[in-house]
A and B are shown apart, each in its own frame.
Chain A
Amino acid sequence: MNKALRNPLVFFLFILPALILFTMFFIYPIFSSIYYSFTSWNGVSDTVKSAGISNFEKALGDERFWISVKNNGFFILFSCFVQVPLIILFSLLISNVKKLKGLYKTAVFMPSIMSTAVIGILWGFIYEPNIGLLNKVLGLIGIDPLYWLSDERFAMLSILITNAWQWTGFYIVMVLAAILSIPGELDEAAAIDGATGFQRATRITLPLIVPIISVVIMLSIAGAMKAADIVIVMTKGGPAGSTDVMATYMIKYAITNFKYGYGNAIAVLIFVFTLVVTAVYQLLIARRTERIEY
């Protein structure tokens, strides 16, 4: 047919710039990470010494690494068992109200477009023991000031709440879009058959939004695995490493302590864990939910 769109040279020139950047910043870093994870390189010197699997042995034997893994786990559990129910509840509520729908949607979404760093600062102020909002509110019901961010018992929880505060609205809007795209006839038919609002929500809408909930959980897992900035801004991993996540643990070693090889071993472990969690989720849960036919 036409030759204009079949010219291989032009094709090549069109894809080249993006492909170069993609190779440099996605493909090469993966292989580079894997390679250096088997070395004891400090990131600066000219000689790179092989270290076998000792970096991995060291990481898997380090209690503080496992604390950071556990904290990533808390991120995931908190999103699945606290955020997801709230997301479902509030998206159903917003979809059912007639007035103020736009306002709710706009306001709820707002925190997710803001910088995590600034939100970390803002919440640091809220958690401030003496003048912060939270202790002042708790003071009204007679609870003594708590040291939210510097007490090991509360620090991680405080971060999780901040993270949920920022992202719950984002997912609510996503689920809301799915609910609003369900044909209205389904709901009307059920209403004519005498189903109450609650029945319609749980028997009709909920089963229909299971796929999007599944997407929300996948995104939360992906987000949980790369969480880092909020921890750095709010606690720097403290007190005593109790709020470190894998990414901040990696940064601590590689950039602050010049253990570049070791840092890359952590990066590889982050890949592996992300793959494992995603695969487990897909096999155990996502598959099973797909069997619910509607």
Chain B
Amino acid sequence: MPRALKKSLPHVALLSYLLVILFPFLFVLFSSVKKDNNAIALNPFGIPKEFVFNNYVEAWVNAKISTYFFNSLYISILASVVSIILASMFAFAVTRMRQGKWNTILFTLVMVGMLIPNNALMLPIYTIVRKMGILNTHWALIIPYIANAIPFTIIILAAFMRSLPREIEEAAVMDGLKAPGIFAKIIVPLTVPAMVTVFIVNFLGNWNEFLLANYFLSNDELRTLPVGMVQFRDQYQMNYAQMSAGIVFSVLPVIVIYAILQEKIIEGVTAGGVKG
């Protein structure tokens, strides 16, 4: 085989894979600026002859993207931050405080939690949420999201905290700090890099979550972006150009964040592994 061919063969294979990944996005992007279904049907692959940006305006209004977007944003951020606070306290206690066998027992318990297929727990969680009287409020998502992320967050943060040298606390104790002070002033600042990683993973998990968001909320104003998008699709089934604009709206923020933070995101998500 000639050398040049041999060298380019892997690139041919990889570029075709890339095409399979990227073309659907381009297809949606092109469709979103076409006039209607007919325009898509006549020229499915290419850039449209005339650009129609009206779809974006209509989708923004009809799909209530702004409402769903901000619902998703604040639910995801709030739940991720609270899980990190609670999980870091737990991780600090089991890795840095000397409670003998309790540390191991509690940590093992959390590890077991990682193995439970969480979709199967949806029904009891539904009942808990209903009994708490928060069904059909945002708390019905925020509290389960916080809880759901806790095992994973504890495991990653505990692994990080365990790697910090013991001498740090000894010095802090000499300076008269108590456990809460050591936690807040010494351990938390040192754990920030790991926290950023788990925050990204938790945030993406919450941002994309569909099942609970679909069944625990019935009020339209409260919906999150994935559920809102599905509902929008069901309502405007026939208008694919407008639907494409809706897809672009919901995918764009994720792509922008990914473009900026891709290294952190890849590192975090693959470390979690189980999140998908």
Contacts and interface: CB of A to CB of B under 8 A. Distances in A.
B126 A255 contact: yes
Contact of B273 (A5, A33, A219): A219
Interface string A1-43: 0101111101100110111011011101110110010000001
B28 interface: yes
Given A108-B18, A114-B208, A226 B97 contact: no
A117 B230 contact: yes
B70 interface: no
Contacts of A124: 233
B123 A33 contact: yes
A210 interface: no
A16 B188 CA distance: 18
B210 A116 contact: yes
Nearest to B145: A25
Interface in B227-263: 227, 229-230, 233, 240, 243-244, 247, 250-251, 254-255, 258, 262
Nearest to A245: B119
A105 B240 contact: no
A226 B122 CA distance: 11
Chain A contact residues, majority secondary structure: helix
Interface residues of B, number: 96
B147 interface: yes
Nearest to A31: B124
A93 B124 contact: no
B210 A115 contact: yes
B193 interface: no
A250 B220 CA distance: 25
Nearest to A254: B123
Contacts of B144: 25
Nearest to B112: A26
A53 B182 CA distance: 53
B4 interface: no
Interface residues of A, number: 90
Interface string B33-65: 000010011001100000000000000000000
Nearest to B10: A93
A111 interface: yes
A228 B211 contact: yes
A167 B120 contact: no
B142 to A, nearest CB: 11
Contacts of A131: 37, 40-41, 44, 240
B195 interface: no
Contacts of A187: none
Contacts of A174: 270, 273
A155 interface: no
B119 A247 contact: yes
B169 A5 contact: yes
B30 to A, nearest CB: 10
A167 B276 contact: yes
A251 interface: yes
B127 interface: yes
B180 interface: yes
B21 interface: yes
Nearest to B8: A97
Contacts of B190: none
B230 A233 contact: yes
Contact of B13 (A93, A107, A167, A226): A93
Contacts of B31: 125
A270 B120 contact: yes
B210 A226 contact: no
Contacts of B265: 113
B5 interface: no
21 contacts: A5-B179, A22-B110, A29-B123, A30-B116, A108-B21, A115-B207, A115-B225, A115-B254, A117-B226, A125-B247, A131-B37, A131-B40, A170-B270, A170-B276, A229-B210, A229-B211, A267-B121, A270-B119, A270-B120, A271-B120, A274-B117
Given A22-B150, A104-B14, A115-B229, 19 more contacts: A2-B170, A7-B97, A10-B178, A11-B102, A15-B106, A19-B90, A28-B128, A103-B18, A107-B22, A121-B229, A122-B24, A125-B247, A173-B266, A173-B270, A177-B270, A250-B123, A260-B123, A260-B127, A267-B122
Q: Which 5 A-B pairs have the closest CB atoms?
A: A29-B124, A25-B147, A117-B226, A14-B93, A115-B208
